[in-house]
Amino acid sequence: MTGDLWNISFRKTDNQYSLRTRSSRIKLDISDCDAVSLFSGGLDSFCGAISLLEQGCSPCLFGHNEYPKLRAKQEKLVSMFGEEYHNQTTKFLSFTANSRAPINSAGKLKGTENTSRGRSLLFLCGALTIAGILGKNVPVYIPENGFIGLNIPLTNSRKGTCSTRTTHPYFLRSFRQILNAVGISNPIINFYEFCTKREVVNSVKNTNAFTKGYTDTISCSHPCVARYNKSGSREYPINCGYCYPCLIRKSSLLDVGPENSEEKYTYKSVSYDLLQRLSESNRSNDLFAVISSIYRYQNVGDAEIKRLIMCTGTLSINDIENYTRVYKKTMEDLIELFFQDPKMKEYIKL
């Protein structure tokens, strides 16, 4: 998941960590829900919720709010689900947690931890807790496209912990083994495991819920950067338009409307001019990395692609074949996005 080596063990304690002492806490009745689905407020989890609702499910959506305005976005989408699927139940639970380094014997922090590389473990444990309350066979869904789940490093410098694999099948398989060892039987399912993000979007793009809500989803690594935009709107959170998740997002929406005219980005275009504009700052890092990845893809065959896939973790032969298709399709989607600008096309082919 993170590139680290994990040793997990269990111990008995008499401490009660789940005691609620604040009377102001809202008690939400989720007894009429029949599934739990991770809900970040991003495009994949949004499409996943729609897919479950279209199938007649009544999901409890579970998310993490890193800042208050994100929670407002999540609640707006859930409210819309309630309007569109009024014969079903949609509940939303969220939590806030910050990473913290271990404490030494003197009571001081051992270094610092300012990343969120392991947060999917926290998400899954929280979702499993909710699913366990509903019933031992209630499923936990983690809707995320296979390309991001696999997360092949865009460049050699992004190997290891720089390319986390929070829904990689090897991680999920290992996690399920731990759950089985302690008697937790709730299924963990990623039904987008072998889909590209564009295929995820296209599977629900004709629903009213998608049309009403997709522009409010946040897929971005820097959703608050617009606060510092001196020349334009300071509205946030919105998608920045230049980070890796935003570029994948843009390529997934190529079939939705004329150039996704309703989408809001701090930087909307994917062009050579944008690349030059950002080239003197670290904001161009992901753009250059994706361009490098496209160039690599155009100059290698299936054997090298499969080697890259196998380097991310142990996979079956069938999984490797499926992920090869997902990788190639996503790269073609990115090429279609970048090549909309003739100058960018010429630059990449140099």
- Give residue-wise pLDDT tens across range 159-199: 655 566 778 899 899 999 999 998 999 999 999 999 999 99
Q: Which fold has domain 35-98+114-189?
A: Rossmann fold (3.40.50)
Q: What pLDDT score does 19 carry? A: 54
Give dist(CA 189, CA 269) in Å, integer. Answer: 35
CA proximity to 187, closest of 144, 146, 134: 134
Instruction: Give percent above pLDDT 90 in the chain.
Output: 54
- Give residue-wise pLDDT tens across range 16-44: 765 555 555 557 788 899 999 999 999 99
Name which of 25-34, 79-88, 180-189, 267-276 the model is least confident about: 25-34
- Give residue-wise pLDDT tens across range 296-325: 999 999 999 999 999 888 899 999 999 999
- Give residue-wise pLDDT tens across range 210-238: 999 999 999 988 787 666 665 555 677 88
Contact present, 334 and 289 (Cβ < 8 Å): no
pLDDT at 259 over 60: no
E-strand ranges in the chain read 35-38, 59-64, 91-95, 140-141, 188-189
Contact present, 29 and 22 (Cβ < 8 Å): no
Residue owning tokens 């404490």: 103
Q: What pLDDT score does 101 carry? A: 67
Domains of the chain, by residue range, sit at 35-98+114-189, 219-348
Q: What pLDDT score does 227 carry? A: 65
Contact present, 336 and 251 (Cβ < 8 Å): yes
